[in-house]
Structure 1
Amino acid sequence: MENQISLYLVVALYFATIIFYIWCIIIKKKTPYPLPPGPKGWPIIGCIPEMMMNKPTFRWIHKIMQELNTEIACIRLGNTNVIPVISPELAREFLKKQDAIFASRPHCMSCKLASDGYLTAIIAPIGDQWKKMKRIIASEVLSPAMHQWLHKGICHEEANHLVKYVYNQWQNPQKNGLVNVRVVAQHYCGNVTKKLVFGKRFFGIGTEDGGPGMEDEEHMDGIFGILSYLYAFAIADYVPWLEVFDFDGYKKILKNSIKIMRKYQDPEVDKRIKMWEQGVRKTKEDILDVFINLNDSKKNPLLSVQEIKAEIIEIMIATVDNPSNAVEWAVAEMINQPNILDKAYKELDKVVGKDRLVDESDLPNLNYVKACAKEAFRLHPIAPFNVPHVSTKDTVVGGYFIPKGSHVILSRPGLGQNARIWEDPLKYKPERHISDESRKVTLVDHDLNMFSFSTGRRGCPGVLLGSTMVTILLARLIQGFNWTAPPNGPSIDLVQAEQSMLLSKPLVAHASPRLDAHVYAKLS
């Protein structure tokens, strides 16, 4: 019996191989253009064995491109062509000139789980559900008018909590002014988003010094658990029938992280819906209220409870990592280059002064501070690639054939550190973003010479929110405190983690007040 099964498998593989090679021949005859350069994969499975033996996958992909000396490559994983790109010119071709062709997202295990079956705006493939959710997010949640209504006071209030928390670390003899900047940055972004969505900054009661409690730490772990394994090159993303085996363990981790987030978020949604049904709540005060009260032309709820819960997960994972990572790296780089920190201090003192804290109205005039944040986005992006774009038909880009169904991934470090585009690409140099003193620095680069926020049809709808969060966070930390390396170290070790783009160790730095005492006293 076993021999018979083995024979069937051999025969099946034989015919599958023949079909694959026939398909390759058809493709070659179909177009005079070649595929982008890349490693020669195995029949049927492509380069999946090599992918599994060379973790983390993003470093393996960048190594392949370096060895091939190419700015675009083609790596076949299963029957999917993965197209990594580090050329700004080609990136613009994909996301601007041929944006309509590359506006979809892949069907894969990780994003299906995270979006509860593609119910959300960012990671849903192109189609009616995506159009519906995109319209809602753009017009009802992240429009300029909504930004003014929802955000008024929230970023400012949470920024006050931020300064007070850091000040408490300086006052605490046991802390001696040592601050975990990663914790501060991540929870600031998380607290702002929770306040916008749920009208509350903590799921628990927090700690006496103003920091997050156990509940919010666990919730943050859930957020980064999803982010770490979303589009993380799981085997099941390219060979779907292997999902049941979960060979790399990604599915288990994702499901557990989603469970953690839902543990805290879903009860809030259920409770709020009940409040509206019972007439206890009558005024829209946050994003959750907006979602619940959206109606179609027949006065029926526009969003199901399932859609609301899925979209809130997406909002949470989309707003925390990018700003917090940029600020952590920026502070680390600035501590190691005191002249840059001093320029930022001087700009803040000139624009804001030292008798009050910087607020959102000051941000347009903080060109150098924004340049510091933008340089962190360029040099130290949060993720190796953007969210994949999928070609909806065969096309040609840069003289290369891009087959329908290809996954196009723009390399964030590849674009931001491209030596052909940037002078001294590995040096942290904010001045490079200030070409004209009268020109305002913006954190997004629509020319895709670097990748902070996405552009095009699938561009980030929260650019205004993200830019505000990262700038006010960095400005408050710099204006409020003198930053130095811990007493036992002359500088910050700027080593990147092996498995991610984060600092290998959370930034712990020494902070001491630099403003008048009454400024901090008001925060009490």
Structure 2
Amino acid sequence: MFGLTVTDLFLSVFLFFSAHFIIRSLLSKHKHKLPPGPNGWPVLGALPLLGTMPHVALAEMSKKYGPVMYLKLGARGMVVASTPDAARAFLKTLDLNFSNRPTDAGSTHLAYNRQDMVFADYGPKWKLLRKLSNLHMLGGKAIEDWTAVRRIELGYMLQAMYESSHKGEVVVVPEMLALAMANMIGQVILSRRVFVSKGTESNEFKDMVVELMTSAGLFNIGDFIPSIAWMDMQGIVGRMKNLHKKFDALLDKMFKEHRATRNDRKDKPDFLDVLMNNMNNPGEEKLSDTNIKALLLNLFSAGTDTSSSSIEWALTEMINNPSILRRAHAEMDRVIGRNRRLEESDIPNLPYLQAICKESFRKHPSTPLNLPRVSREPCEVNGYYIPKGTRLSVNIWAIGRDPNVWENPLEFNPDRFLNEKNAKIDPRGNNFELIPFGSGRRICAGVRMGIVLVEYILGTLVHSFDWKLPDGEKLNMDEAFGLALQKAVPLAAVVTSRLLPSAYEV
């Protein structure tokens, strides 16, 4: 009836099914064409390959497997971007798809089960926390409004260092920075200093912050092999729970004391008052006590630790390169003189200082692997298939040390940011060669504040003092891995005042 023989019919059916099979095979092959990466071990996958310095191990792997790698970590998949173009593909082109954080022990046990701003899912609650933080603390106008707070608190630190210099005492840099920054943040959030002076209480707080940032950055086996999570083989979860209890008690005390004195600040509410007022918001989104405590934990921990580590690394590099320190002094003496302190308004006139800060962000990014993200849906990058639920790490440390991006990347050379090629590179997330705060909608909320604090505090410390190591001491440049890239050995230095004595008065 249709003019077909049995042979024609058989051939047509055969061709149809053959074509169907080939197309499905091609689609299946394409669908599962994961990025290259190491095979890893049975059950554990690539976890043992990460070692104690995952950012370094992953940077070495990327030399073999390329800018986009895929690793099987236990039962989970992780993709790693190690070049500016790869980072741009994930954090700009696919930003929305990677707008959430993975659920892990750190976000569960430290961040109040993801009720904070850093680990919360991208959605209404996160947007509210981000909006309030920008309006009242982290945005441009808010930062400008608390300029005087930064100046006063930095004055207390300078005074203490000036006294130490005349007593011949060694200054432990991260302890001084933690005290000053905690008090700056405390003045904005609570209308008061958190610590009156350096001592046991402030040092304990610093140690708690460092422990939080370190433990939250560890690769916890239970996060990647959920069936054995209950065993807590590394003891990480137990330490997180104990640390959370300490922070919760501290935040609870702050919260209750503040609530009892709210009437005293009716005419001039601080940031915590604003957050408390939102708890009675007639709108759809309201904050709970837990949301507020979780946000305070974000601000106090990240606000003190990440900026502090950037400043400490910059000072370390300058002590290690005395010619850079001398050149910075010369620029500051020419622009400011030695009769007064450096002011924030001086910074635009100090291009070499700004270049030093950028160089520190490049070589010693505060978050070497950025904060992890996770894919909402399957996607494709560079022709590779990325499954839904894949963890994303952007190796910012590797990008900053890539010889294809930076000439002589292991050298600390601020001049690289003064040439025509790199002068316009900015660390605020748009130039993927330099993204110390990340990029996209989940960029660090405190990026503006971080840059202001690093430039202002580092500049003031350099302008106000000469720096050298105690006699017989050698400079230790080793890193300690965590969410923030700490120095393995805290910087302790001898400082000598450079300004008129009146410049050190509060």
TM-score (structure 1 length as normaliser): 0.85
Q: Partner of 1:22 in structure 2?
A: none
Structure-to-structure mapping, 1:93-492, within 5 angstroms? 93-149=89-145, 151-173=146-168, 175=169, 178-203=170-195, 205-206=196-197, 212-276=198-262, 279-294=263-278, 298=282, 302-436=286-420, 442-489=426-473, 492=475
Instruction: Classify 1:467/1:512 alpha carbon distance in 2 versus 1 (closer, same or farther; 3 Å).
Output: same
Number of matched residues?
482
CA shift, 1:400, in A, is 1.6
Q: 1-side partners of 2:466 and 2:45: how far apart?
A: 53
Matched, 1:34 2:33: yes
CA shift, 1:268, in A, is 1.1
Q: 2-side partners of 1:43 and 1:29: how far apart?
A: 25
1:383 alignment partner AA = T
Conserved in 2, the CA contact under 8 Å of 1:74 and 1:83?
yes
> Mean Cα displacement is larger for which, 299-308 or 72-81?
299-308
> Alpha-carbon deviations, 1:151-184, whole Å to 9, x = none?
13111111111211111111224x1xx2212222
Conserved in 1, the CA contact under 8 Å of 2:377 and 2:388?
yes
Conserved in 1, the CA contact under 8 Å of 2:52 and 2:481?
no
Correspondent of 2:74 among 78, 88, 91: 78
Question: SS in structure 1 opposite 2:61?
Answer: helix
TM-score (structure 2 length as normaliser): 0.88
> Alpha-carbon deviations, 1:81-117, whole Å to 9, x = none?
1112211101011111121111111111211222211
Q: 1-side partners of 2:368 and 2:139: how far apart?
A: 29
Conserved in 2, the CA contact under 8 Å of 1:182 and 1:324?
yes
Conserved in 1, the CA contact under 8 Å of 2:37 and 2:70?
yes
CA RMSD after TM alignment: 2.7
Conserved in 2, the CA contact under 8 Å of 1:486 and 1:509?
yes
Instruction: Classify 1:69/1:37 alpha carbon distance in 2 versus 1 (closer, same or farther; 3 Å).
Output: closer
CA shift, 1:487, in A, is 2.3
Q: Which runs of 5+ in 2 are unaligned?
A: 1-23
Matched, 1:496 2:491: no
Q: 2-side partners of 1:310 and 1:442: how far apart?
A: 30
Q: 2-side partners of 1:498 and 1:441: how far apart?
A: 26
Identity rate, percent: 28
Instruction: Classify 1:498/1:286 alpha carbon distance in 2 versus 1 (closer, same or farther; 3 Å).
Output: closer
> Mean Cα displacement is larger for which, 432-441 or 241-250?
432-441
Q: 1-side partners of 2:292 and 2:485: how far apart?
A: 31
> Mean Cα displacement is larger for which, 252-261 or 406-415?
252-261
Structure-to-structure mapping, 1:505-520, within 5 angstroms? 505-520=489-504
Conserved in 1, the CA contact under 8 Å of 2:175 and 2:203?
no
2:95 alignment partner AA = D
Q: 2-side partners of 1:129 and 1:242: how far apart?
A: 32
1:495 alignment partner AA = D
Conserved in 2, the CA contact under 8 Å of 1:344 and 1:368?
yes
Q: Partner of 2:11 in structure 1?
A: none
* Bigger Cα Rg: 2
2:62 alignment partner AA = M
Q: 2-side partners of 1:430 and 1:513: how far apart?
A: 24
Instruction: Classify 1:443/1:60 alpha carbon distance in 2 versus 1 (closer, same or farther; 3 Å).
Output: closer
Q: 2-side partners of 1:292 and 1:425: how far apart?
A: 47
Runs of 4+, deviation exceeding 6 Å: 25-28, 437-441
Conserved in 1, the CA contact under 8 Å of 2:427 and 2:434?
no
Conserved in 2, the CA contact under 8 Å of 1:293 and 1:301?
no
Q: 1-side partners of 2:79 and 2:451: how far apart?
A: 29
Matched, 1:87 2:86: no
CA shift, 1:56, in A, is 4.3
